[in-house]
Amino acid sequence: MAQSVSLYTPVIYIAVLLSVLVIFSTVYRKRKLRSLEGMKPWYPTHTSRDIYETLAEMAPKPPTKVLTSALLRRATEDIRRVVKIREAKGALATLHQKGSVSDDLWLRFTKSEKLMELELQDCANEANKIKEGFASTLFSSAQEIAQNDAIRQRLGNLDKIRDDFKKEMENANITASKK
């Protein structure tokens, strides 16, 4: 005599199984999120963003040109950071694949990359709040400013490099003339 299995048994089994999977998934995500929150950020504080947000939240709204200028500085800093992240990504990925870089460092890097994407989106949204379609103009101007600053920095370093080279040549001439 075989006992009959109730029709509700498979339904209850599937419901319990799905409940356990949902609970496991939420607990796992919360733990992973907590571990990511505790990580040290890739970049230090973002002062240009803080300045813009302070200006945007002021009770008497500052003039639009002041907000635009602060937003342009914010976008310029974002572009610099994105360029540095893109430059480092290839080398860091290679080192991570070879096992030379820890998983924590790689997670920290990918987290900062995602945060920069969100920062750029936020910057574009703020630009479009000021004027519709202003985001493309803002980012092209910010990129030009970042490139111009990089060129200025390189030109400033040329004087130091030239002076160091002259000193080396003088030292080489002095040692050659002594022989």
Which pLDDT does position 73 carry in this prediction? 96
**What is residue 2's predicted lDDT score, i.e. its pLDDT?**
54
Q: Retrieve residue 43's tokens.
A: 């970049």
Q: What is the pLDDT of residue 13?
A: 93
Whole-angstrom Cα Rg for the chain:
28
Q: Which residue has the tokens 């008497």?
A: 60
| Cβ atoms of 118 and 94 closer than 8 Å | no
What is the reported pLDDT for 1?
46
* CA–CA distance, 133 with 54 (Å, rounded to integer): 23
Residue segments in the chain with a per-residue pLDDT below the cut of 50: 1
What is the sign of the dihedral through the CA atoms of 106, 112, 115 and 116?
negative
pLDDT tens for each residue of 52-67: 999 999 988 899 999 9
Instruction: Tell me the C-alpha to C-alpha distance, in Å, between residue 37 and each of 31, 108, 111, 120, 122.
Output: 10, 10, 10, 20, 20
pTM given for the model? 0.68
pLDDT at 38: 67
pLDDT digits (tens, 9 = 90+) for 104-129: 888 889 988 998 999 999 999 999 99
